[in-house]
Each structure stands twice: as C-alpha cells, then as structure tokens.
Amino acid sequence: MADRLLVKLRPGGALRAAASPVRLEPLYDRPATLAAATEPQWFLAEPAVSATPWDTAHDRLAQQLGVDAGDILFAEPDLTHDIYRDTNEHAEGQPFAVGESCDSTPQDGTHGKIVGPAWDWHLDDDHSQLGAARAAVTFQAPRTRIAHVDTGYSRIHETRPVHINDALERSFVEGDPDSGSAEDPDRKVPILDNSGHGTGTIGILSGRRSSVHGGIIGGAPDAEVVPLRVADRVVLLRTSALARAFRYAADQQCDVITLSMGGLPSEAWSDAVDVIYEAGVCICAAAGNHVGPTPPRTLVYPARYPRVVAVCGVMANGSPYADLSGTTLEGSHGPESAMAVAVAAYTPNIPWARFGCDTAVRLNGEGTSSATPQVAAAVALWFEKYKGSLPRDWRRIEAVRRALFSTAKARTRLDFFGNGILQARAALDVQPLLTLPKSAKSKRSPVAAKKKRR
C-alpha cells in the first residue's frame, strides 16, 4: 500500500483534487475559523504509488491529484512516531495482563532519590508547591478546562478526576470502535501490556483522593478534564492523530493541553500549535526521555516549538534528571535555543495510578511524562485564579509563562531546567501582564524550509 501523506492544499487545488481517484479526506472536521474556507487546508491523502522521496513528492502527488504543483504547499508522511521512551509502559513482549499486578510499588532507590515517608512529596512547599497552590484557588463554573492528550484513561480507578467531561472526550486512534470514548482499552495483541500511561498521567494532573495513601493525588483536582486518546502506546503516536486532537481541543475551548509524549518535527503539528496559540490554549509538552547515549537526548516535538511550554525533569534533591548511570531512564534537555521556554518539574518516584486496578497507586512513576502534568496543573490553577481578567487569545499564554518562569527556582541551570523549577504557589501571586510580545511562530521542519527555498 502506498504511503499515506499529510498534504496542505490551496483552496482551488483542494476542489480539483476532490475529483481525483486519490483517497483524500480533510484532516480536521471543520475549519478552525470562518475565514478558513478561503485559506489553505490540511488533508490526508493515500496516493496510488509512493510520493517519496521528498524531492519528487510534490510533483508526483500533484499528478495523481490532478492539480498544479503550486497548489500543494506542503506534503509530509503521516508518521508513526516511535522515539519517545517511557518505562512507565511495559516493553513489547512482556507477559503482563490487565490487573495482574495491582500492588502499590514503593519508590525506586536505584532511580533518583528516595524521599519518603510522604507519598505525595512532590506537592509540598519544598518541591512544586502544588499542594499550597490548589488550596489557594477556588474553582467556579465554567471551570478551567484541561485537555489530557494521551493513551486514554481508566474509568474504574478510584483516583480518576472528579470533573471529567465525558460528553467531550474523544479518541483519535484509528480502529477504536467508539470515537466518543477516550477510555483506554489496553487491547494490544497478542498480549495485554497493562501500561495505562494515560491513567498515570491523568492522576498526576487532576486525580482525586487515594484510599490507599490517604490524600489527593492530582495537582488541579477541581479543574475540568477532557481526555483525548491519540495512541495505544507512547511509541505509536501518529502525526495526524495528534494534529486532530490539538485542533479539537481548541474547538472545544480548552484552556490547557497536557501532552506526555512526542516525536519528530511536523509541519502539520507546527501549524496546529500556531492556530491554538492564537486561540489562547497553553500547551505543556514533555521534553522526552532516553537511556544513556541513546536518542532522543534533546527535546522532542512539539515541546521544542517556541509557543509551547517544554517540561523537563528535576529530581527530589534538586539534581538534574540527567546523566544517570546504566540503563536508568532520564530526561531529555537542550539545545539551548529550545530551553528558553522550558521549565522543570519533579520526577522520578511520583505517584502513578495503575491501569486495570481499582485503587493501586505505585510510587515509582518516572520520566518527563510524570513532570508534565504538574506544570499543566499549575497553568490551570493560574488561569482559574485570573480568568475574569484574561483575554481568550495568545496574550494569556505569554502571561502565564511569565508567572511560571519568573517565580521558578534554580534559574541558573538553563541547560537542564530552562527557566527553573516549578513553584506553583509563588506563580499565583504574579498578576497578568498583557503587553508582552508574541513568541516566534513554530519552527518548520528542515524539509519544509527546503521546500520554501525552492
């Protein structure tokens, strides 16, 4: 079967291509704005023969679509991204079934620093300050809305967020029988992997009380959460699924997006990021993880785009979540140009709700996947506090980033922490400043730059 492509077409070209035998479908259900009908649009195309390599992609695809080459502004493969490492998921082939292990695994002394006895140590005033920050904010309807973009979530776990908007939750995973459900089916064949990545991250973001540990697990438990399922596993993230989820989050007037996965640069992603930045949706995206010298050692996309808050890791003792020994998972960081919009949050040994279990919360969650929901929770708390004075556009993103970055601690470690380590309660005291300049547009991939020069 020919490669599936993401194609950006001029309006006239889209009309001509619709009459071609090539299977062509809009990437998005509807234009992001009323004016978009006269603007270039993204489509998924399945050409009869491969439209690669890049140097011939436009000409070959144009012939099959029956359009001029100039009608095609960009074409890229609809990749399945597999560079995001995360040991919160079991490796392929490990014989774990759903619910097989429902114990509350303790912290891992070989991976970072044991910080007990408090199971929710990362929330305290010596660390993220999220406990004090959530106590200082009273949520009122309509609540600040967070899009949780991940592998789905477990509806049976007791720590699932109180305010999940199940009417808006969606799956963008091809093959899911119900696109209106973001529940994680954990259906991997031939065995079930019991990974539950989204169940873990949604708990850190906005989880309710744990009966096992006796406290509230989430950083923003009173926020509204819209779960958006984009992959079965973090290493199976498709370009089109994430682009669609981003645009859907903006259409549903979400305020924050938390994303604990990523991949290679994409023109479709950069376009989506720019659209939702203009709409005032703040994206918090994981920097990525790796083991030893293996990639990705620097920030993955979309965390690397300048209009996104990139989330790196810091360990409980204040050490960078990097340069660890052996096969220990560690966080990605750099290059310096990408760290200007980065901030760090705590990991590893973070509470992680176990998929397929009713109550189990293990205490050795790790990776920048664990750090990212903490920053998204802090953004939601700040938005909720100041929502009466915030315009619904890009200015509130710049304002909340200023609040987070200016109050972070350890701000001298740009190489590892970007602007510093999250201090959520201190950030709440920073009043909105709405005269800040716009961030630069999302950087295009090297291929896009090449095509633009031709």
Full 3-state SS string of 1-48: CCCCEEEEECHHHHHHHCCCCCEEEECCCCCCCHHHHHCCEEEEEECC
The CA–CA distances, whole Å, from 89 to 29, 114, 298, 348 equal 32, 21, 21, 14
Residue whose pair of structure tokens reads 């967020």 in the numeric block: 161
The answer to whether residue 314 scores a pLDDT higher than 70 is: yes
- What pLDDT digit, counting tens, does each position of 34-68 carry? 445 678 889 888 876 555 544 455 566 666 776 76
Contacts 24+ apart (CB under 8 A), 47-51: 47/2, 47/3, 47/5, 47/22, 48/2, 48/21, 48/22, 49/2, 50/2, 50/3, 51/2, 51/3, 51/5, 51/75
**With 90 as the cut, is the pLDDT of residue 349 above it?**
yes
Distance between CA atoms of residues 97 and 113, nearest Å = 30
Residue 339's pLDDT is 95
Nearest to 249 by CA among 270, 218, 221, 272: 272
The answer to whether residue 444 scores a pLDDT higher than 70 is no
Phi, psi of 246 (to 5 degrees): -60, -50
**Across 151-296, where does the E strand assignment appear?**
170-171, 209-210, 215-216, 224-229, 237-238, 256-259, 282-286, 289-291
Query: Percentage of the chain surpassing pLDDT 70?
Result: 83
Of residues 232, 221, 164, the one with CA closest to residue 198: 232
**For tokens 């978009």, what's the residue?**
36
pLDDT tens-digit series, residues 364-418: 999 999 999 999 999 999 999 999 999 999 999 999 999 999 999 988 888 999 9
pLDDT value of residue 138: 97
What pLDDT does 277 receive? 97
Residue 410 is inside which H or E element, if any?
Answer: none
Angle between the N-to-C axes of helices 446-453 and 267-278, in degrees from 0 to 180, rounded to the nearest 10? 90
Q: Which amino acid is present at 350?
A: I
Per-residue confidence (pLDDT) for residue 167, from 0 to 100: 97
What percentage of residues in the chain have a pLDDT greater than 90? 61
317 backbone dihedrals φ, ψ, rounded to 5°: -90, 10
pLDDT digits (tens, 9 = 90+) for 269-285: 999 999 999 999 999 99
Residue 348, phi then psi, degrees to nearest 5: -90, -160
Identify any residues that bridge with 45 across adjacent strands, giving them in sequence order: 5, 24
Query: For position 2, what pLDDT does the model report?
Result: 44
Query: Which comes out higher in pLDDT, residue 267 or 356?
Result: 267
In the chain, the amino acid numbered 296 is P
- Report the pLDDT value the prediction gives residue 321, as an integer from 0 to 100: 92
In whole angstroms, give the CA distance from residue 171 to residue 227. 8
365 neighbors 329 (Cβ within 8 angstroms) = no
pLDDT reading at 446 higher than 80: no
Q: How confident is the model at residue 32 (pLDDT cuts 50, 70, 90)?
A: very low
Confidence of residue 310 (pLDDT cuts 50, 70, 90): very high
Instruction: For 95-108, write each residue's pLDDT tens digit.
Output: 445 555 788 888 88
Predicted confidence at residue 188, as pLDDT, reads 44
What whole-number distance in Å separates Cα of residue 331 and Cα of residue 297? 8
Amino acid at 189: V
pLDDT exceeds 90 at position 251: yes
pLDDT at 19: 60
- 75-103 average pLDDT score: 71
Does pLDDT of 157 surpass 50?
yes
- DSSP for residue 122: G
At residue 452 the predicted structure's pLDDT band, cuts being 50, 70 and 90, is very low
Cα-trace Rg, the chain: 21
At position 236, the amino acid (one-letter code) is L
pLDDT at 212 over 70: yes
Indicate the average pLDDT of the chain: 86
- The yes/no answer on whether domain 121-428 falls in CATH 3.40.50.200 is yes
